[in-house]
Amino acid sequence: MEIAIFTHVDSLSGGNYRVANVLRFFPRGKYVLLMPRNRKYAFIDVLTRFGSNSNALLNIISDAYELRDYYCKDVPCHIKYGYYVGKVVKELGADILYFPHEHAYLPLGFKASNTKWTELLQLTPVIGSLTVEEGSGFSLFMKNLRVNFNYGFFKILKGYIRFRLFTLAVRNTPILAVSKSIPYELEKLGVKVDVRVIDPGVGVDPCPFSGLDRVFDVVFFARVTPEKGVFDFLRVVASLVRWRRNIKALVMGFAGDEMAVKVREMAGELGIAGNVEFRFNAPRDEAMRLLAQSKLVIYPTRLDAFPLSVLEALSCGTPVIAYAIPAIRFNYADTRAVIKTKPLDIEEMTRMAIETLEGEAWRGLGREAVEFAKKYTWENAAKTEWDTLQSIMQS
C-alpha cells in the first residue's frame, strides 16, 4: 500500500462528489480509503438517495477503513482527530497521508503526528474565492469575507486566524490544487506555498440526456446558498421578467429547510414567485435532465475554484453566464459557452442573458459547450492527481 486517503465527507457537494469520482480511477490495491464511521454511513445514505454512478461509488465508500466517529466542533478536537488519523496511517504502513480537502485544523494534527502528508485544495481556504481583487494581504482578505459572507469585523478576525493556521500547517509541505486560481489567490493574499496544480482539475461524465425540449429559460444549479449566488440569480430573474413577463426560471440544488424557505420568500418579495420553479435536493439524474431542458445557466458564484456544476451544464449543451472571478476566468477562458460578467453586476448579467436568449444564441453556444466539456474526463483528472501524488512522495 502506498497512499492512505482520508476523507470526512458526509454530503454531496461538488467537491465531495469529485473526491468520490476520482477514486474510481485510482489504481486498486495502491491506496486505502479512511473514513470516520459516522461520516461513512452518512455519505452512503446520501449517495444512495442522490448520486449517479451510485453502484461504483457505493462500492468504493463501503470498502473504506472505518475510523472512530468524528463530531468535532472546536479547534482542539479537530487537531486531536488529525493527530489520531496520522497515527493510524503510520500503523497501516502507508507511505503518505492524503487529505483531498482544504481545512485549517486537521492538518495541524497530521503535522503533529510526524506523518508524511499532503492535501488537495478545492477552494482557496477561508475566503473561497476572490470576488474582489483590488488590494492585497489582510485588507483584501477582509474585503472578500465581507462581500462573500457578509462577515463583521470579529468574524473576519476569526477567519484570518484560521487562515494563518492553514499557512502554518502547510509550511514546507507541498500541496495540490484543482485550479490555477488557487495559487494566484493565495499569492494575492500574501501567502507563498508549494502548490502543484492538477490539470485537468475535475472531470465530468457525458450528459445522459440530449434532444429534450428546452422548457426553462434560465436555471440556477448549485448548492442553494448566498455565496453560490442564488439571491443574485433571483434578482436577475426579476430583471428578466421586466423584459419578458413569461420568463420561466428554475432553482435546483441542495438546500436546507431554512434556506429553502428564504429563497421562496425572496422570490415572492421580488414578485417572481409565478415565474420560478423550485427543485430542491433533486437526485442527480433528475438534475441532469432538468439541465438538458434549460436554455441558459445563470451562476453568480462567489465561492469556487473549478466549478463542476458549470462543466455539467456544458456537457448537457447548456451555456453558462457567470461572474468573472478567477475560477471562471482561468478555467473557462477558451470557450464562448461560458459568458463572463463583472462580479456583483446584476445589470450586466441581465443584459448578457437577454442577448443570449433573444437571438437564440444559446443554441450555437450549446453545441460549443458540449465539445468543450468532452475534454474533461474523470480518468484524466485521476491520472494527473495520482501522478502528482507520486512525485510528492518521491521528493
The reply to whether 127 and 261 lie within a common domain is: no
Check whether residue 176 and residue 293 sit in a common domain: no
Q: Are residues 369 and 382 in the same domain?
A: no
- pLDDT of 1 > 70? The answer is no
Joined grid coordinates for residue 114: 510526524
Report how far residue 200's alpha carbon sits from residue 214's, in angstroms, rounded to the nearest whole number: 30
3-state secondary structure string across 143-190: HHHHHHHCCCHHHHHHHHHHHHHHHHHHCCCCEEECCCHHHHHHHHCC
- Domain presence at residue 301: yes
The verdict on residue 209 lying in a domain is no
Q: Which pLDDT score, from 0 to 100, does residue 363 have?
A: 96
Distances (CA, A) of 356 to 161, 282, 295, 349: 44, 27, 9, 11
More confident of the two residues 39 and 1:
39
How many of the other CB atoms lie within 10 Å of CB of 38?
A: 16
How far apart (Å, rounded) are the C-alpha atoms in residues 360 and 210?
18
**Band (394; pLDDT cuts 50, 70, 90):** confident
Which amino acid is located at 71 in the chain? Y
Mean pLDDT across the stretch 160-172? 94
Per the prediction, the chain carries an average pLDDT of: 95
Mean pLDDT value across residues 276-294: 95
* C-alpha span between 233 and 247 (Å, rounded): 13
Q: Would you state the pLDDT for residue 240?
A: 98
The count of structural domains within the chain is 2
Strand partners of residue 118: 98
Q: What is the CB neighbour count within 10 angstroms for residue 361?
A: 17
Residue 243 lies in a domain: yes
Give me the amino acid identity at 53. Answer: N
Query: Which pLDDT belongs to residue 12?
Result: 86
pLDDT digits (tens, 9 = 90+) for 306-358: 999 999 999 999 999 999 999 999 999 999 999 999 999 999 999 999 999 99
Same domain, 358 and 382: no
For residue 13, pLDDT beyond 70: yes
126 and 61 inside one domain: yes
Residue 168 lies in a domain: yes
Q: What CATH number is associated with residue 54?
A: 3.40.50.2000
Query: Which percentage of the chain shows pLDDT scores above 90?
Result: 92
Position 126 in a domain: yes
317: left (phi over 0), alpha (psi -120 to 50) or beta: left
For residues 226 and 191, membership in a common domain is answered with no
Q: DSSP letter at 306?
A: S
Find the mean pLDDT for residues 169-173.
92
Same domain, 77 and 195: yes
| Residue-number span of the structural domain to which 33 is assigned | 3-203+377-394
Same structural domain, 144 and 224: no
Instruction: Read off the pTM.
Output: 0.94
Q: What is the pLDDT of residues 85-134, one digit of tens each?
A: 999 999 999 999 999 999 999 999 999 999 999 999 999 999 999 999 99
Cis peptide before 76 (omega within 30 of 0): no
> Do 100 and 167 fall within a single domain?
yes
CB count in 10 Å sphere of residue 171: 11
Instruction: Look at residue 210 and tell me if it is in a domain.
Output: no
Task: For residue 16, report the phi and psi dihedrals to the nearest 5 degrees.
Answer: -70, -40
pLDDT value at residue 49: 85
Average pLDDT over residues 72-81: 96
In a domain, 343, yes or no: yes
Pair (197, 239) in one structural domain: no
DSSP string, 87-153: HHHHHHT-SEEEE-S--SSHHHHHHHTT--EEEEESSBTTTBS-S--SS-HHHHHHHHHHHHH---H
Residues sharing a CB contact under 8 Å with residue 201, sequence separation 6 or more, in sequence order? 177, 178, 179, 305, 306, 331, 381
| One domain, residues 92 and 186 | yes
| Rounded (to 5) percent helix, strand, coil in the chain | 50, 15, 35
Q: What is the pLDDT of residue 276?
A: 98
In a domain, 58, yes or no: yes
pLDDT in tens, 41-65: 999 999 988 876 678 899 999 999 9
In the chain, the percentage of residues whose pLDDT exceeds 70 is 99
The full DSSP string for 334-381 is T-TTEEEE-TT-HHHHHHHHHHHHHTTHHHHHHHHHHHHHTT--HHHH
Reduced to 3 states, what is the DSSP secondary structure of residue 244?
Answer: coil
- Whether residue 330 contacts residue 188, with contact meaning beta carbons closer than 8 Å, is answered with no
Q: In this structure, are 90 and 44 located in the same domain?
A: yes
> What's the rounded Cα separation, in Å, for the pair 24 and 41?
19
How much is the pLDDT for 50?
A: 82
Integer Cα distance of 20 and 289 in angstroms: 22
